Structure 1
Amino acid sequence: MVQPYKHEPFTDFSVEANKEAFLKGLKIVESYLGQDYPLVIGGERITTEDKIVSINPANKDEVIGRVSKANKELAEQAMQVADKTFQDWRKSKPEVRADILFRAAAIVRRRKHEFSALLVKEGGKPWNEADADTAEAIDFMEYYGRQMLALKDGVPVNSRPNEYNRYNYIPLGVGVVISPWNFLFAIMAGTTVAAMVTGNTVLLKPASSTPVVAYKFLEVLEEAGLPPGVINFIPGSGKEVGDYLVDHPKTRFISFTGSKEVGLRIYERAAKVHPGQKWLKRVIAEMGGKDTIVVDKEADLELAAQSIVASAFGFSGQKCSACSRAVIVEDVYDEVLNRVVELTKKLTVGNTTNNEFFMGPVIDQAAYNKIMEYIEIGKGEGRLMAGGEGDDSTGYFIQPTIFADLAPDARLMQEEIFGPVVAFAKAKDFDEALEIANNTEYGLTGAVLTNNRAHIEKAREDFHVGNLYFNRGCTGAIVGYQPFGGFNMSGTDSKAGGPDYLVLHMQGKTTSEML
């Protein structure tokens, strides 16, 4: 019997000892800032002239690291290594693969504050958000290790007299993992180890904004006993390396987390069969959202306001699950809006190396420019209630921003901004609030705050999102507790941290023996 796993606890930074431990983690990270990092192909360290420079988004002068950049030739080399390694790795015992994850989880747990401090520096995360990111990475390793042990003997099927039937899962092959910058540790680690523990080999192309944490994670896996060539570290350009590997005839599956635009491009390219390709490529995609918190007139209005603020502005709104739309029934609209504005104006923004700030920077100049453009659009579409300003002189800082009185079809209500901007819309009743909540092309997360049981049940049936929360915010899914993934243009509803996620990285094989 595989023991269930309870998720990694979050750190309470009001405890002085925990605060001191985190500051020590920051010191460790500061001791290795600015170093050069190689590619890793088949266990071999390869240095290139061309580098991806990772900087601290809160302090543009601080270089986190310079990471060697793969090109097509090196991507091809990595593919050949991964393809060759797969022939042995696919026959490795699931217990061995799971044990690597359990040991890696233990190593990260011992270095938890160091990894979280690296997320503060490389991703601009506040301490609590960084701590939750690291905890989630640990959870993914523990959970997927246990899931693999549960799946290793397959699923029982019926047999008949003189006939013995088995149904087992076997690995797919070489997977290309393209991970995002927002959960730079958790999602990068989760997507990588899900592919590895199921017996596949991996080409890991982390986000160009945050490659250093990915390299540090590969070092942990190597320390835990991962053989060379199973996971190959090849950061590089999406257009050069990403497209090349998505198109490659030996690529068996692509696991992608990122924007809708890039996800659709991958989905389309992966559908084309290239010379020498013997399979239809599988795509596992998580592509973003336009997530709504609905507040009913029969709701705890203080809880509603707190939930909107935390979900809209946690990690500067840079979560695919972030609340970017608040739809409030008109009876309580002004009260909820005014309270959200009041709470938002108390939020602090700054360099999150200092734990006094609630919100840090956005990830880079391109993100800053895009969000500021949306704020200008918002000024023409609604009423600016808070924020609206940015400062990119030292880092990429944008004040938490609220627009009121948006029409349901306004751009701010329809397009993913991926920043600290929330749009408020008024609904005449609960039914109209649900209609507005459903009127986007996305379907990732949503939340409903109400004490009306009939409305809860109606939303459970009719609010079309992959993760729906009642009487809480719409961010913060925990591995094994709230399997995460969405509908429509939010992706393939591949529920990360859920009971059927690993199966997406395998294929079922039936064997039948006459006795």
Structure 2
Amino acid sequence: MLPTYKHEPFTDFTVEENRIVFEKALRFVENNLGKEYPLIVGGERIKTEEKIISINPSNKEEVIGTVSKANQEIAEQAIQAADQAFQTWRKVNPEERANILIRAAALIRRRKHEFSAWLAKEAGKPWKDADADTAEAIDFLEYYARQMIALKDGKEITSRIGEQNRYIYTPTGVCITISPWNFAFAIMAGTTVAPIVTGNTVLLKPASTTPIVAYKFVEILEEAGLPKGVVNYIPGSGAEVGDYLVDHPKTSLITFTGSRDVGVRLYERAAKVHPGQDHLKRVIVEMGGKDTVVVDSEADLDLAAESIVASAFGFSGQKCSAGSRAVVHQDVYDEVLAKVVELTKVLSVGEPKTQDMYMGPVVDKDAFDKIMSYVKIGNEEGRLMTGGQGDDTKGFFIQPTVFADLDPKSRIMQEEIFGPVVAFSKANDFDHAIEIANNTEYGLTGAVITRNRTHIEKGKRDFHVGNLYFNRNCTGAIVGYHPFGGFKMSGTDSKAGGPDYLALHMQAKTVSEMY
């Protein structure tokens, strides 16, 4: 019996000992930059001529590593290897599958700061964000291991006299995991091990901007005892490799985290039945958000300002849960706006070499250009209060930016920016604030800051998001505490890190025997 799940604690970097250990981990990573990494198919290392180059977004001249790039031929080899491995892996005792995750979590825990240092370099994450990313990866492994043991015998159903009925779960097949760069460890790990622990096999296609940390995670799974072919590491082009795998008749499950446009496209492609396919594919997609912090007139205004800043600018706003909209009651609008501007102006921005750097870079040139184009739009649609500057001479740095007086239907109030930009809009009353909060096509996270109990109850009913928080920021979901997934065009509300998530990767089977 496994001990009760407990959330992996965050590191306090104000403690000198912790700071020194992390600095040592950073030096270790810096001494191991620039290496080449192969593909992993059926346990075999494969090198290709075409490469993916991972660079440090804080320093464009620094190469994190070079990864072989998969093509369709290798993708086919990988899916055949995964299909072959599935025939035996699906029969492995669920407790043994869970134990592999527990061993992997223990291995990561011993190298926790090293993995966080890789995230600081490859994803540009400040220490606190990198540490939380690694902790969440450990949480996913620990939590899903325990969830699998809880589900291994199925769910209780009723039997009649002379009849025994069982309701059990069985693996689905080959899973394609397409993971994002913003939580390059946590989401990548969670969406890889959930299908593995439920008895499926995986083709992991990590984001091309952050493939190194994914490779190192696959090494951890191998060290923990995962058999060959159960996970296959195949970074490559979405158009060439991603589409090929999504369309493949042997694919049973697709799990994707990323943009709305790509997620909708994958969802549509997966619906088509191809020659040789004898099943309908399951799709789990998380596609982003346009998330709102609502501030009521009866709110702690300092808490409101702190919640808006944390929601908007944590990891440079590069979270699907980021609070990129603040909808504030007209009676407290000016005061909350002034407090947010004051807090924002003192935020530090730069390469995360020290623990006190609040914001690092955005992930790459494309992200930088997109965000700066929205800053230009914001200058046309609203009133710039602070920020608005970007510098991509060395890395991709953008100052935290606050726009005021936005029309609720304006573009920067409606479109996902995925950067350090927050837009303020004024509400006439609480009902109006909830109406504005619901006026986008997304429904991922939201926060309400209020002391009014009636308004809290109304928010619970009427604020249409998958993760709703009161009197705190709208980011920072913890595995097992805040199951995560959104409504509307934010995805399939799959609730990662929750009690229903693993069942999405399995098929329920009813077995009835007459005596």
TM interval, shorter chain, is over 0.9
- Partner residue in 2 for 1:479: 479
How far apart, in 2, do the equivalents of 1:31 and 1:500 lie? 42
Q: Deviations over 1:419-471 (max 9, x none)?
A: 00000000010000000000000000000000000000000000000000000
SS in 2 for 1:323: coil
- Partner residue in 1 for 2:468: 468
**8 A Cα contact 2:19 2:355, kept in partner:** no
**8 A Cα contact 1:57 1:123, kept in partner:** yes
The answer on 1:356 being equivalent to 2:343 is no
- Partner residue in 2 for 1:447: 447
Q: Deviations over 1:125-175 (max 9, x none)?
A: 000000000000000000000000000000111111111111100000000
How far apart, in 2, do the equivalents of 1:294 and 1:325 lie? 8
How far apart, in 2, do the equivalents of 1:2 and 1:483 lie? 21
Equivalent runs, 1:337-356 vs 2, <5 Å: 337-356=337-356
How far apart, in 2, do the equivalents of 1:369 and 1:511 lie? 56
**8 A Cα contact 1:442 1:487, kept in partner:** yes
- Partner residue in 2 for 1:507: 507
SS in 2 for 1:322: coil
SS in 2 for 1:331: coil
SS in 1 for 2:331: helix
The answer on 1:160 being equivalent to 2:160 is yes
Structure 2 residue runs of 5 or longer lacking an equivalent are: none
Task: Give the alignment's Cα RMSD to 1 decimal.
Answer: 0.6
Q: Once the 2 structures are TM-superposed, how far is the Cα of residue 357 of structure 1 from its aligned partner? A: 1.5
**8 A Cα contact 1:385 1:401, kept in partner:** yes
**8 A Cα contact 1:249 1:274, kept in partner:** yes
**8 A Cα contact 1:308 1:323, kept in partner:** yes
Q: 1:398 is matched by which residue type in structure 2?
A: I
How far apart, in 1, do the equivalents of 2:219 and 2:28 lie? 16
**8 A Cα contact 1:293 1:308, kept in partner:** yes
How far apart, in 2, do the equivalents of 1:164 and 1:430 lie? 54
How far apart, in 2, do the equivalents of 1:31 and 1:165 lie? 59
**8 A Cα contact 1:147 1:502, kept in partner:** yes
**8 A Cα contact 1:121 1:353, kept in partner:** no
**8 A Cα contact 2:390 2:397, kept in partner:** yes
- Partner residue in 1 for 2:22: 22
- Partner residue in 2 for 1:90: 90
- Partner residue in 2 for 1:42: 42
Q: 1:447 is matched by which residue type in structure 2?
A: A
Q: What's the TM-score, normalizing by structure 2?
A: 0.99
- Partner residue in 2 for 1:282: 282
SS in 1 for 2:454: helix
- Partner residue in 2 for 1:292: 292
Q: 1:191 is matched by which residue type in structure 2?
A: T
- Partner residue in 2 for 1:246: 246
The answer on 1:63 being equivalent to 2:87 is no
Q: Once the 2 structures are TM-superposed, how far is the Cα of residue 2 of structure 1 from its aligned partner? A: 5.3
Q: What's the TM-score, normalizing by structure 1?
A: 0.99
Q: 2:18 is matched by which residue type in structure 1?
A: N
Q: Deviations over 1:5-24 (max 9, x none)?
A: 11000000010000011011
- Partner residue in 2 for 1:301: 301
How far apart, in 2, do the equivalents of 1:185 and 1:255 lie? 15
**8 A Cα contact 2:386 2:400, kept in partner:** yes
Structure 1 residues 2 and 223: CA distance shift in structure 2, 3 A: closer
The answer on 1:173 being equivalent to 2:173 is yes
How far apart, in 2, do the equivalents of 1:331 and 1:162 lie? 69
SS in 1 for 2:478: coil
- Partner residue in 2 for 1:183: 183
**8 A Cα contact 1:384 1:403, kept in partner:** yes
- Partner residue in 1 for 2:263: 263
The answer on 1:314 being equivalent to 2:275 is no
Q: Deviations over 1:357-398 (max 9, x none)?
A: 210000000000000000001111000001000000000000
SS in 1 for 2:324: strand
Q: Once the 2 structures are TM-superposed, how far is the Cα of residue 354 of structure 1 from its aligned partner? A: 2.6
- Partner residue in 2 for 1:331: 331
Q: Once the 2 structures are TM-superposed, how far is the Cα of residue 353 of structure 1 from its aligned partner? A: 2.1
How far apart, in 1, do the equivalents of 2:353 and 2:36 lie? 22
**8 A Cα contact 2:172 2:507, kept in partner:** yes
SS in 2 for 1:285: strand
SS in 1 for 2:332: helix
Q: Deviations over 1:199-242 (max 9, x none)?
A: 00000000000000000000011110011100000000000000
- Partner residue in 2 for 1:382: 382
How far apart, in 2, do the equivalents of 1:152 and 1:29 lie? 39
How far apart, in 1, do the equivalents of 2:12 and 2:354 lie? 16
* Count of residue pairs the alignment pairs up: 515
SS in 2 for 1:495: coil
- Partner residue in 1 for 2:132: 132
Q: Once the 2 structures are TM-superposed, how far is the Cα of residue 28 of structure 1 from its aligned partner? A: 1.4
- Partner residue in 2 for 1:490: 490
How far apart, in 1, do the equivalents of 2:495 and 2:318 lie? 20
Q: 1:381 is matched by which residue type in structure 2?
A: E
- Divergent runs of 4+, >6 A: none
- Partner residue in 1 for 2:458: 458
How far apart, in 2, do the equivalents of 1:112 and 1:355 lie? 16
How far apart, in 2, do the equivalents of 1:32 and 1:89 lie? 34
